[in-house]
């Protein structure tokens, strides 16, 4: 499955900017893949692209109509169906990160079939995975892990990919969540895989490669999150990373959505090394990514400097200040 | 979902005894629920029950036709369909632990509908789970964990349940795999749950209960198995056990199906306490269950005595010698 580029980003009638964070993610990292945005009446989001309708997007070369908005319950509202059918009738594929499958909407399924177009439900992989094997594979892998969910693991991985590529490394972002899959054009929403196949899906996502190739793997959840740690562990075992980066949001006190307190960065490093050794005995931490979006620049620099000093590791906010210090360490350790 | 008792155990044309291990498990632990076995021509398995046909089983009171045989690939062979339809037409429900869903076989689905009977695909829960919450719940829980897959975690849990009930404790086996679900009549095959919901499914399975109630939870996989550790961790977090028992097969050298070496019992204790503290800070190991089926009785006693001495914990083969020593410790620690 590879989603065809370029995209028209459909924002529907998203009530606010947060509801369009899927589209924002694509624009932040793959601006060149986007010909424009499409908004319906009442839309409160704007991702800064030219407003186009379906005909205008097709004229601009758009190949895939991307539903870039999340919705309560992951349902696709009935009043979006007309424009989705119009996109299919106009020759575009459709991609969605909603829970509901596009193919479960009869008019959408029929229009896709009639026009020979593809429907990409990025939350639901059509791939059949094997169980994990745990055997070492050639190629190198770096994984972002977190003190919590939603602390910036995806953005850290994308910033690492960009900086590694800028240094001439052969690096490729590997998406493990629905927004990541839209940003990469492929990947697997690993939390939607059947539990037996988490590690196997991660192995499929990061296959054997040239020795100097780096897969930059988007992390999920946290080993310390009581809802999702199983996903995190399976991804760690399956991706068998040589290196990992701990992502942390310094103003957070509780794990997202639950009453569990946040672990320390040191606890995350220790637990990740301890569990990761099972499939890669040489696993090591190469840096700390601080998500400083809630801090002033001075506060951010202070938190980053303290994290670096406390742990003897390069630290940065890779989105705000670039991933340079971490990539310096990666090159120093792995060449 | 509660499977109606008693059962007719269908062995089909299972080539050997191993292929009928689902049925064997039911007979070993729930002999009273079984009115007989049904075997087709060429069947090489025998679980020691009276041979009955569908009519004979119905006359003996059977309510559910249980497919007690596993098959390469988990498929249901075409030549079993006639007898399944006959069972439905005769008023029995049908339960299966195969990967393939009963309802995906048109003749079976139609016969179930026409007769108003239920189809139980015990690998596929129809329950919709929430994500795990991680909050402490009243009631007590004991979990079996393992140095590997297939080391006797289910049988250890069932032996613990039997011994705890014999001592007058309010104890109930909680099934997490397909054979366990048939033995319990309910439960959830937790490795078949979508990854996001592993911990949530475990919380659903072991809900809030009276303070002196014990859920005896069937473990899955191993924290040290590179294919399945994510399932193990989610089950550990979701079931938030007060106590756990480490199950070990002393002749095994490699993790099942992979090249990874077996961890030590001490490593499993340490990793289980470390990870389990997230949802139960008081988690502790209360014993070691040695699966000594490959050893003579003298060898078994020697291995058990050494494990007890090495770890300062009660050890036994709970199936061969009973779970007494572990339950002694449980009562001493928890009253």
Tens-digit pLDDT profile for residues B247-295: 999 999 889 899 999 999 999 999 999 999 999 999 999 999 999 999 9
Q: Is residue A130 part of a domain?
A: no
pLDDT of residue A71: 78
CA B120/CA B35 separation, integer angstroms: 19
Least CB-CB distance to B230: which of A133, A231, A258? A231
* Paired tokens of B208: 């809030």
Q: Which residues does B259 contact at the CB level (< 8 Å), separation at least 6?
A: A134, A135
SS3 B269: helix
The tally of domains found in chain A comes to: 2
- Among residues B92, B121, B150, the one where a domain terminates is B121
Cβ contacts (< 8 Å) between B199 and chain A: which residues? Answer: 226-230
Place of tokens 């061969």: B320
Confidence category of residue A319, pLDDT binned at 50, 70, 90: very high
User: SS3 for B288?
Assistant: strand
- Phi and psi of A103, rounded to 5°? -70, -10
B62: pLDDT confidence band, cut at 50, 70 and 90?
very high
Q: Please indicate if any CB of chain B lies within 8 Å of the CB of A254.
A: no
Considering only CA atoms, which of A84, A85, A88 is closest in space to residue A69?
Answer: A84
Q: Choose from B196, B203, B259 for mutation: most chain A CBs within 10 A.
A: B196
Position B128 in a domain: no
Asked if residue B130 is part of any domain, the answer here is no
Please check whether residue A32 lies inside any domain of the structure: yes
- Of the pLDDT bands very low, low, confident and very high (cuts 50, 70, 90), residue A121 is very high
Q: Are residues A238 and A311 in the same domain?
A: yes
The two tokens of residue A327 are: 């990539």
pLDDT in tens, A244-256: 999 999 999 889 8
pLDDT of B72 above 80: no
Residue B98 lies in a domain: yes
Over the stretch A23-57, which tens digit does the pLDDT of each residue have? 999 999 999 999 999 999 999 999 999 999 999 99
> Is B72 within 8 Å of chain A by CB?
no
A234 and A100 together in one domain: no
Comparing CB atoms, the residue among A134, A231, A255 nearest residue B195 is A231
Q: Assess whether pLDDT exceeds 80 at residue A122.
A: yes
Which CATH number covers residue B156? 3.40.50.300
> How confident is residue B160, by pLDDT bands cut at 50, 70 and 90?
very high
Query: By the 8 A CB rule, do A230 and A190 touch?
Result: no
Closest CA to A97 of A117, A73, A72, A67: A67
Decide if B273 touches A, using CB distance below 8 A.
no
Q: Do A226 and B133 touch (CB under 8 A)?
A: yes
Note the ipTM here: 0.92
Strand partners, B266: none
Kindly state whether residues B163 and B273 are assigned to the same domain: yes
Rounded CA-CA distance B244/B288 in Å is 9
Question: If 0-12 CB within 10 Å is exposed, 13-18 middle and 19+ buried, where does residue B298 land?
Answer: exposed
Q: What share of chain A is helix, strand, coil (3-state, %, to 5)?
A: 40, 20, 40
Q: What is the mean pLDDT of residues B158-187?
A: 97
Token pair belonging to A309: 């000093």
Largest Cα separation within chain B, whole Å, is 61
Average pLDDT estimate for B28-55 = 97
- Per-residue pLDDT tens for B74-124? 789 999 999 999 999 999 999 998 888 999 999 999 999 999 999 999 998
Of A196, A198, A257, the CB nearest to B192: A196
Average pLDDT, chain A: 96
Verify whether the Cβ–Cβ distance B229 to A194 is below 8 Å: no
Q: Which pLDDT belongs to residue B74?
A: 77
A305 interfaces chain B, CB cutoff of 8 Å: no
Among B178, B195, B261, B271, the residue to mutate for chain A (most A Cβ within 10 A): B195
Q: Tell me, yes or no, whether B228 and B324 share the same domain.
A: yes
Q: Which two tokens stand for residue A245?
A: 């980066």
Q: Are residues B156 and B40 in the same domain?
A: no
d(CA A52, CA A17): 18
Note whether A280 and A170 are same-domain residues.
yes
Instruction: State the Cα–Cα distance between residues B50 and B46, nearest whole angstrom.
Output: 10
Query: In this predicted structure, what is the pLDDT of residue A73?
Result: 74
With 80 as the cut, is the pLDDT of residue A124 above it?
Answer: yes
Q: Which DSSP category does A22 fall into?
A: H
Q: Label residue A127 by pLDDT band (50, 70, 90).
A: confident
Provide the 10 A C-beta neighbour count for residue B114.
Answer: 11
CATH of the domain at B33: 3.40.50.720
Q: Mind telling me how many Å the CA of B190 is from chain A's nearest CA?
A: 7
Q: Is A192's Cβ below 8 Å from some Cβ in B?
A: yes
**pLDDT level of residue B130 (50, 70, 90 thresholds):** very high
pLDDT of residue B71: 78
Higher pLDDT, A335 or B120: B120
How many other C-beta atoms lie within 10 A of the C-beta of residue B120?
A: 24
Report the percent of chain A where pLDDT is more than 70: 100
Sequence-distant (≥ 6) Cβ neighbours of residue A309 within 8 angstroms:
none
- Taking 80 as the threshold, does the pLDDT of residue A217 lie above it? yes
Per-residue pLDDT tens digits for A220-273 = 999 999 999 999 999 999 999 999 999 999 999 889 899 999 999 999 999 999
Q: What average pLDDT does range B49-64 have in this prediction?
A: 98
- Quick one: B170 and B33 in the same domain? no
State the CB neighbour count (10 A cutoff) for residue B172.
16
> B143 with B235: CB under 8 angstroms?
yes
Is B127 inside a domain boundary?
no
In terms of domains, do B102 and B183 share one?
no
pLDDT of amino acid B73 = 73
Residues of B in contact with A268 (CB under 8 A): none
If we measure between CA atoms, which residue out of B259, B109, B322, B27 comes closest to residue A137?
Answer: B259
d(CA B206, CA B217): 8
Tokens of A238: 């399956």
Q: How far is CA B29 from the centre of its chain?
A: 11
Distance in angstroms (rounded) separating the CA atoms of residues B144 and B131: 22
Q: Count Cα neighbours of B294 within 13 Å in the Cβ-side half-sphere.
A: 9
Residues 6+ apart with CB under 8 A from A275: A223, A233, A236, A237, B223, B229, B271
| Subunit contact B258:A195, Cβ cutoff 8 A | no
Cβ contact (<8 Å) for A226 and B190?
no
Q: What is the pLDDT of residue B126?
A: 76
Confidence of residue A83 (pLDDT cuts 50, 70, 90): very high
pLDDT exceeds cutoff 90 at B54: yes
Let me know if residue B56 belongs to a domain. yes
Mean per-residue pLDDT for A143-159? 97
Classify B91 as helix, strand or coil: coil
Pair (A106, A170) in one structural domain: no
Q: Name residues 127-146 of chain B within 8 A of A (Cβ).
A: 131-135
Residue after which a domain boundary falls, among A86, A121, A156: A121
Question: Looking at the structure, do residues A271 and A229 belong to the same domain, yes or no?
Answer: yes
- Residues of chain B with Cβ-Cβ distance to A233 below 8 Å are 229-230, 233
Per-residue pLDDT band for B308 (boundaries 50, 70, 90) equals: very high
Least Cα distance to B319 among B104, B152, B74 occurs for B152
The nearest CA of chain A is from the CA of B195 a distance in Å of 4
In whole angstroms, give the CA distance from residue A124 to residue A99.
Answer: 8
CA dihedral B162→B123→B222→B163, nearest 10 degrees, is: 0
Cβ distance of B227 and A131 shorter than 8 Å: yes
**Per-residue pLDDT at A298:** 98
Residues A154 and A206 in one domain: yes
What would the pLDDT profile of B197-242 be if each residue is shown by its tens digit? 999 999 999 999 999 999 999 999 999 999 999 999 999 999 999 9
Structural domain boundaries, residue A91: 7-121
Assess whether A167 and A212 both reside in one domain.
yes
pLDDT at position A335 over 90: no
Taking alpha carbons only, the member of A221, A214, A167, A164 closest to residue A190 is A221
Average pLDDT over residues B152-178: 98
Structure tokens at A153: 């693991």
How are the residues of chain B apportioned to helix, strand and coil, as percentages rounded to the nearest 5? 40, 20, 40
Residue B134 belongs to some domain of the structure: no
Residues in a beta bridge with B217: B143, B174
Note the pLDDT of residue B242. 98
């Amino acid at each position: 499955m590879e989603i065809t580029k370029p995209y028209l980003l459909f924002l529907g009638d998203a009530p606010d900017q947060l509801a369009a964070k899927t589209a924002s993610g694509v624009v932040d990292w793959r601006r060149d893949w986007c010909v424009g945005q499409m908004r319906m009446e009442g839309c409160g989001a704007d991702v800064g692209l030219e407003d186009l309708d379906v005909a205008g997007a097709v004229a601009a070369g758009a190949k895939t109509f991307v539903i870039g908005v999340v919705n309560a319950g992951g349902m696709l509202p009935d009043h979006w169906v007309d424009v989705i059918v119009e996109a299919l009738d106009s020759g575009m594929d459709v991609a969605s990160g909603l829970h509901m499958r596009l193919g479960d909407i009869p008019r959408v399924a029929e229009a896709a079939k009639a026009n020979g177009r593809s429907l990409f439900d990025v939350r639901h992989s059509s791939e059949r995975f094997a169980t994990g094997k745990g055997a070492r594979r050639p190629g190198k892998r770096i994984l972002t892990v977190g003190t919590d969910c939603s602390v910036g693991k995806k953005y850290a991985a994308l910033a690492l990919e960009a900086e590694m590529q800028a240094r001439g490394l052969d690096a490729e972002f590997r998406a493990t969540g629905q927004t990541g899959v839209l940003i990469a054009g492929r990947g697997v929403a690993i939390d939607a895989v059947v539990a037996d196949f988490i590690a196997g899906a991660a192995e499929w996502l990061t296959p054997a490669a040239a020795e100097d190739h780096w897969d930059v793997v988007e992390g999920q959840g946290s080993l310390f999150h009581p809802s999702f740690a199983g996903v995190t562990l399976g991804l760690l075992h399956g991706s068998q990373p040589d290196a990992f980066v701990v992502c942390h949001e310094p103003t957070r006190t509780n794990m997202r959505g639950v009453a569990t307190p946040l672990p320390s960065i040191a606890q995350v490093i220790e637990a990740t090394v301890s569990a990761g050794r099972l499939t890669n005995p040489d696993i090591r931490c190469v840096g700390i990514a601080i998500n400083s979006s809630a801090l002033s620049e001075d506060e951010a620099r202070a938190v980053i400097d303290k994290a670096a000093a406390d742990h003897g590791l390069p630290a940065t906010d890779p989105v705000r200040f670039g991933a340079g210090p971490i990539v310096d360490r990666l090159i120093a350790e792995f060449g």
